[in-house]
Chains A and B, each alone.
Chain A
Amino acid sequence: DGGITQSPKYLFRKEGQNVTLSCEQNLNHDAMYWYRQDPGQGLRLIYYSQIVNDFQKGDIAEGYSVSREKKESFPLTVTSAQKNPTAFYLCASSMPRYTDTQYFGPGTRLTVL
């Protein structure tokens, strides 16, 4: 069953702690993305990666870090430098050679206590 999985679905963090959100895809897609969604707002791009071992900052990269060591995995770390991390985080992937469509995972809701 192909798709994008994100874990955990809900995540709670104390202030000052780093936390890593998982994103895995078995679609054999080259490109992967992380978005942040706040209530009543659209999607804002945090980071994206078009190929293994390469990634680019999006519009709101400050306070976040990523890695792309494997094609199917693109974890996002929310660091303590992110001042307002409570949000819904969405991972997406695409196959730019064949389609412009981005496919999304189910999301992780991060709450900072």
Chain B
Amino acid sequence: QQQVKQSPQSLIVQKGGISIINCAYENTAFDYFPWYQQFPGKGPALLIAIRPDVSEKKEGRFTISFNKSAKQFSLHIMDSQPGDSATYFCAASYGQNFVFGPGTRLSVLP
């Protein structure tokens, strides 16, 4: 119940395309869903986050879509750029219980 599933494991997108990464969870106690971006050899950095009382949150080219009934949420990166090439982690938490997905390695081709 504590697991967060994430797909795909890796993703290759052309510059200007849309990158979509999906996550799913089981524990309905989770009430905070952040996405982190990690470049090689660096620590993860918070990208965008959402709470289950909204279905969508947009910040620049990054959008989280949240489906509470399906217990799924996804990250959409519009107009993907080579600089977006990184590993993306979804996470789910309640209180101090933080569970991370296994990550998606995104490569954006120039």
Contact = CB atoms under 8 A, between A and B. Distances in A.
B7 to A, nearest CB: 13
Interface of A: 4, 6, 31, 33, 40-43, 45, 48, 50, 90, 92, 94, 96, 100-107, 109
A72 B59 CA distance: 31
A96 B43 contact: no
A55 to B, nearest CB: 12
A52 to B, nearest CB: 16
B96 A50 contact: yes
Interface size grouping (class) on chain B? 20 to 34
Given A43-B89, A96-B95, A100-B93, A106 B100 contact: no
Contacts of B36: 104
Contacts of B32: 100
Contact of B96 (A31, A40, A43): A31
Complex A-B, nearest 10 residue pairs according to Cβ-Cβ distance, in ascending order = A104-B43, A100-B32, A42-B102, A43-B100, A42-B100, A104-B44, A106-B43, A107-B43, A105-B43, A42-B103
Contacts of B96: 31, 48, 50, 94, 96
A106 B42 contact: yes
B103 A41 contact: yes
